[in-house]
Chains A and B, each alone.
Chain A
Amino acid sequence: MSDRPPPGPPVLDEATATVTALVAGAADAWDRAGLLPVGLLRELGAAGWLCAQVPAAYGGRGLSSAAGGAFTAHVGSLCGSVRSVMTSQGMAAWTVERLGTAEQRTAFLPRLTGGALAAAGFSERGAGSDLSAMTTRVRRDGDAVVLDGHKVWVTAAHYADLLVLFGRYEDGDAGTEHGAGAGAGAGDGTGTGDGAVAVVVPADTPGVRVTRVADPLGCRAAGHADIALDAVRVPAAHVLGGSSLPLPLLVTTALAYGRMSVAWGCVGILRGCLTAAARHAATREQFGVPLGEHQLVARHLAELFAAEQTATRVCEHASRCWDEGSPEQVAATVLAKHVSAGNAARGAATALQVLASAGAQDGHLVARAHRDAKLMEIIEGSNEMCQLMLARHVLGSSA
């Protein structure tokens, strides 16, 4: 049926079966408790499954975007909270891989595939959709950098050993020279002093305070937390890439992975909902016939199927663009995130309508899906931010 992942390498099939065995029966209780077993997360992490696209050279599984996406969707069909932790871990790893130097990749990626847990912090109280309003500062001080500021709603931060934190960079030297040698052009980044960096900060560094977000609406066990940073000192070698980049380019690069992961996670939400709604409509009888025989209910099933299939196709397309190295991946990723999140939110509401009281209890897969999917319309670029990016893409191609 539609919730069966496409055939992958045997090791992936095995991981899919293992995750099903570990997660399927327990996700409801984790949601109600608002907590995942850390041992399970470390086990998945040490086996490389929390960031399965990290290359084998760094201890990763080296999955393609398409295979990683299929796995993400499978986990997402079982538990939005575990999938969210995967998104965070994967985004942290991708940020290190993309922005870090060879030495930094060698230093940090094997930890992320070796059982250490990670989170990536962007948002602040005054900087949600408008990340340019970010105020967290990273100040160079000799061989170290010092972070001051705060982050909010950092997914998985409650569990994380390593935090990848974004902030504005203040070089100790006057001016805004770039650290790395060749071809230094005039000025900093876009020329407006918006140079920023991503820094790897161990969560147990003095001055880091992690406080859980109480009772989040969705992905309740994903360990969302606020982070306060008070004179947090880490080696300058923890500044990814060693020098600043324009803030928009920095966050866009890091978020690209998160958007793909969320998009595939939404495919999972839709598959879980489709399976539950189909089963219920086939077995539950009212007015003397199964629910599915009632045309108004049948339409719900058709629309849910259409939502799942279109989300799947748009994610497959975006992942193919990533795997082929096509520049189209940039717009395709935003499109996949936008379509999948909207479909998941509508699809989960539809599934709940079909299940009615049978799904209307906290912890139930469809109740979780309904809450989790709503958050997916907000996280990693809200519906509206995605629409603005897509509109700009359209306008930029038609001048």
Chain B
Amino acid sequence: MNGFDAGATEKEILRFLEARTKRTWGTGTDLFASGGLSSLFAMELVVHLEKSFGVSVRGADLRLDNFRTVASMTGLVERLRAAAGGTGE
């Protein structure tokens, strides 16, 4: 992991989404409004972010707004990495 590369984060999230759903997604598309992704799928996203980016998503950070779009997930990852003070290197 080198630094906080939002572009790479976004790309990886898109890759996972497309592999998992066999659909293409825009970074601003509401994943839960537009295609019936379930709360189980939301959990998959949580676990995927934790594993891929070495962050821990707990408590209030689990709110759905953080997972609603690729952009919001990217923002969450960046914020959690910044809060961890780069210790995830």
> Is there a chain A Cβ closer than 8 Å to B66's Cβ?
yes
Q: Do B39 and A185 have beta carbons less than 8 Å apart?
A: no
> Is there a chain B Cβ closer than 8 Å to A4's Cβ?
no
At the interface, is chain A mostly helix, strand, loop or mixed?
loop
Nearest-CB distance from A159 to chain B (Å)? 28
Which of A242, A245, A397 is within 8 Å of B20, CB to CB?
A397
Which of A183, A241, A397, A399 is within 8 Å of B58, CB to CB?
A241
Nearest-CB distance from B1 to chain A (Å)? 15
Compute how far the CA of A396 lies from the CA of B42 in the bound complex, rounded to whole angstroms: 12
Residues of B within 8 Å of A104, CB to CB, are 59
Residues of B within 8 Å of A11, CB to CB, are none
Compute how far the CA of A245 lies from the CA of B66 in the bound complex, rounded to whole angstroms: 11
Whether A246 contacts B64 in the complex (CB less than 8 A), given A99-B58, A392-B40, A398-B22, comes out as yes
Which of A246, A256, A399 is within 8 Å of B21, CB to CB?
A399
Chain A minimum-CB-distance residue to B61 = A180
Q: Do B58 and A327 have beta carbons less than 8 Å apart?
A: no
Whether A325 contacts B43 in the complex (CB less than 8 A), given A99-B59, A396-B21, A399-B21, comes out as no
Chain A minimum-CB-distance residue to B45 = A327
Interface centre among B22, B41, B68, B76 (most CB of A within 10 A): B41
Chain A residues touching B, range:
35 or more
Which of B47, B60, B64 is within 8 Å of A326, CB to CB?
B47
Which of A179, A242, A249, A393 is within 8 Å of B42, CB to CB?
A249
Compute how far the CA of A23 lies from the CA of B33 in the bound complex, rounded to whole angstroms: 50
Nearest-CB distance from A343 to chain B (Å)? 22
Q: Do B68 and A330 have beta carbons less than 8 Å apart?
A: no
Residues of B within 8 Å of A330, CB to CB, are 40-41, 43-44, 47
> Is there a chain B Cβ closer than 8 Å to A114's Cβ?
no
Nearest-CB distance from B55 to chain A (Å)? 11
> Is there a chain B Cβ closer than 8 Å to A100's Cβ?
yes
Chain A minimum-CB-distance residue to B54 = A325
| Residues B54-73 near A (CB distance < 8 A) | 58-66, 68, 72
> Is there a chain A Cβ closer than 8 Å to B85's Cβ?
no
At the interface, is chain B mostly helix, strand, loop or mixed?
helix
Nearest-CB distance from A33 to chain B (Å)? 39
Q: Do A185 and B47 have beta carbons less than 8 Å apart?
A: no
Residues of B within 8 Å of A392, CB to CB, are 38, 40
Whether A189 contacts B35 in the complex (CB less than 8 A), given A183-B75, A183-B79, A252-B40, comes out as no
Q: Do B23 and A399 have beta carbons less than 8 Å apart?
A: yes
Residues of A within 8 Å of B64, CB to CB, are 189-190, 245-246, 249
Contact with A along B67-89 (1 / 0, CB 8 A): 01000100110010000000000
Nearest-CB distance from A329 to chain B (Å)? 6
> Is there a chain B Cβ closer than 8 Å to A370's Cβ?
no
Compute how far the CA of A396 lies from the CA of B44 in the bound complex, rounded to whole angstroms: 12
Interface centre among A98, A327, A328 (most CB of B within 10 A): A327
Residues of B within 8 Å of A399, CB to CB, are 21-23, 35
Q: Do B42 and A98 have beta carbons less than 8 Å apart?
A: no
Q: Do A397 and B22 have beta carbons less than 8 Å apart?
A: yes
> Is there a chain B Cβ closer than 8 Å to A310's Cβ?
no
Q: Do B21 and A243 have beta carbons less than 8 Å apart?
A: no
For the complex of A and B, the 8 pairs showing the least CB-CB separation, nearest first, are A185-B65, A241-B59, A180-B60, A248-B39, A325-B51, A327-B44, A327-B48, A327-B47
Q: Which residues of B contact A (CB under 8 A)?
A: 16, 20-23, 32-33, 35-45, 47-48, 50-51, 58-66, 68, 72, 75-76, 79
14 contacts between A and B (CB under 8 A): A101-B58, A178-B63, A180-B61, A185-B72, A189-B65, A241-B62, A249-B42, A249-B64, A253-B62, A328-B44, A392-B38, A396-B21, A399-B22, A399-B23
